[in-house]
Amino acid sequence: MTEFGTPAFWVALLQIIGADIVLSGDNAVVIALATRSLPTHQQRWAIFWGTLAAVTMRVSLTAVAVTLLRLPALKLIGSVLLLWIAVQLLLPEEESTGEGMAIGSMGAAIRTILIADAVMSVDNIIAIAAVAKGSLLLLVFGLALSIPLVVFTSTFLLKVMERYPIIITLGAALLGYVAGEMAVADPLVAGWIATNAAWLHTVAPIAGAVSVVAIGKLLVARARTEVERPLEEVEAGSAGSGVGDITMHKLLLPIDGSDASLRAVDRLLTMRAWYKEPLEIHLLNVQHVLHKDVSQFVSAEDMKSYYHDEGLKELAEARARLDRAGIPCQHHVVIGDLAAETIAHFVRDHDIGQVLMCTHGRSAVADLVLGSVAKGMLQHTDVPVTLVRAVA
């Protein structure tokens, strides 16, 4: 058992927090969606009581899981489940349609939060139980730190993970590593391994991490070759005249609300004369697809409202800058899990003639590690793409 204050304790604590952040983002979104239709004064109480109940239940269930994992063979089974969970983390989400009912009372909101957390946290419970290694103190301490962080910064965390896919990859690798550790610690095989193959304690976790990332990336590459699903547009609006005139030159600016994407707007303002007239400007925001389980607990209308509101928030500053300059534009919010592919799909569907976007100013090595939407655009579309390099 890991003792408090030892290096192993702090490493395991960081692993619990990391796993909880990666696996619980959509659980926190359910809390926001379950309470969005309530009056403001009830929203705070519903979030408080719902979260408190969910935390209590999560700690209790994970404590049970920690106890069960002491039984022979269960760690081996758990390690296989954890490997599957880790690989699934890397795959694109299936689009959620919203099958739940509209929520009209604080009691219904709390009940929805509790049930959703129970259903959607199975992966989280297995992962945290594995990392805790039998320490109830570590379990409670880790969850007490990470759950409030996830609940109150869920939207921010989801956007960061969407912008930097390496976080998801590292999270999946962490789960694969933990799965390897769990497998070799099972009472059924631990004695034999200690006597005959102690090297597995080093090799198995590394092999788990590497295999998860390799299999996940292979499945993602295969998924990208499949037939595209229809692009769902949840918000479309325009300002000015000439909308829909096919003789216009259509210019697309992908906007994710970051300072880097707004630099493309600034560059448009300074070099507008460079584009041929008449010019039709489109601003596009891509909303990351929520976990498919979210749709079980919230209505389709609430999910669409969530995408709509988050998209408009991220487009607001770009629209304001163009408006102040007196430049008309159309704006769009679409749903897609792979940003570059989704933007390229939009380009084809709307006969866009050119794309103007900003890179994040990272090195080639950083782009390889962190991922680059701009690089993906160059690979997936055949229209001219003008890249504005961000200045550090």
C-alpha distance from residue 21 to each of 116, 153, 227, 254 (Å) = 17, 10, 32, 27
Instruction: Decide if 105 is inside a domain.
Output: yes
Listed range (177-186, 189-198, 246-255) with the worst mean pLDDT: 246-255
Tell me: do 248 and 198 sit in the same domain. no
Give the residue with greater pLDDT, 288 vs 361: 288
pLDDT (tens digit per residue) in 317-329: 999 999 999 999 9
* pLDDT band, residue 15 (cuts 50/70/90): confident
Decide if pLDDT at 125 tops 50: yes
Tell me: do 204 and 298 sit in the same domain. no
Tell me: do 19 and 116 sit in the same domain. yes
Instruction: Decide if 118 is inside a domain.
Output: yes
Domain boundary among 224, 246, 261: 224
Tell me: do 18 and 117 sit in the same domain. yes
pLDDT at 245: 47
Listed range (115-119, 154-158, 218-222, 341-345) with the worst mean pLDDT: 154-158
Decide if pLDDT at 169 tops 50: yes
Find the domain containing 267 and state its range: 232-388
Instruction: Decide if 322 is inside a domain.
Output: yes
Tell me: do 192 and 307 sit in the same domain. no
Q: How many domains does the chain have?
A: 2
On the 0-12 / 13-18 / 19+ scale of CB atoms within 10 A, 230 is exposed
Q: What is the CATH number of the domain that holds 237?
A: 3.40.50.620
Q: What is the mean pLDDT of residues 161-169?
A: 75
Tell me: do 138 and 263 sit in the same domain. no
pLDDT at 204: 92
Instruction: Decide if 325 is inside a domain.
Output: yes
| pTM recorded for the entire structure | 0.66
Tell me: do 120 and 251 sit in the same domain. no
How far is it, in rounded angstroms, from Cα 12 to Cα 209? 16
* pLDDT band, residue 255 (cuts 50/70/90): very high
β-sheet with 249-254: strand ranges across: 232-238, 330-335, 279-287, 249-254, 354-358, 385-388
Instruction: Decide if 345 is inside a domain.
Output: yes
Q: What is the mean pLDDT of residues 54-82?
A: 82
Could you give the 3-state DSSP secondary structure of residue 252?
Answer: strand
Average pLDDT, the chain: 78
Instruction: Decide if 330 is inside a domain.
Output: yes
Tell me: do 188 and 82 sit in the same domain. yes
Domain boundary among 224, 249, 284: 224
Decide if pLDDT at 225 tops 60: no
Decide if pLDDT at 2 tops 70: no
pLDDT (tens digit per residue) in 286-312: 988 876 667 677 777 878 888 888 899
